Amino acid sequence: MKANEKFLVNGALVQNGDKRGQIHLPDSSVNVLRISDCLHPDEINTPVRHAYYQAQLILSGDAPDENSGQELINSLTTLEKIFEKTAVSEKLSKAKASAQAGRFYSVLCSLKHVFVAERQLLTPPNQDEMPEMAAAS
């Protein structure tokens, strides 16, 4: 943990001291989420970010109900189909397997790699890169 880094432990906000430190939690049922890994609700504007946020809510203890884990798995299944046979399909499969195993921080780590691919998919091509399209208009 970085000096003064903030993180959530089972939904409680904690801040590290002035020096770099470590936390050791022998109980695997404790959820730890660094604030630097969190998305703000205003940033949830794509399907991948929505799935990431679902995992984040589960980790922070703010998930709306007990079906949140299954809803996340359903979202990841849909994303797997959308990104099938792409460079990030393996990351999505790993995220889904992690969600099924209840390892939601691993879901976040895997989904971070998908953000760039999703952005590229959702960004319209630049007209300068497609001169034949501009000439045809």
Three-state SS letters, 69-132: HHHHHHHHHHHHHHCCCCCCHHHHHHHHHHHHCCCHHHHHHHHHCHHHHHHHHHCCCCHHHCHH
Per-residue pLDDT tens over the stretch 69-122:
999 999 999 999 999 999 999 999 999 999 999 999 999 999 999 999 999 888
Q: Which domain holds residue 46?
A: 40-122
Same domain, 115 and 64: yes
pLDDT for residue 15: 79
In the chain, the number of structural domains is 2
Query: Quick check: is 134 in a domain?
Result: no
Question: Is 127 part of a structural domain of the chain?
Answer: no
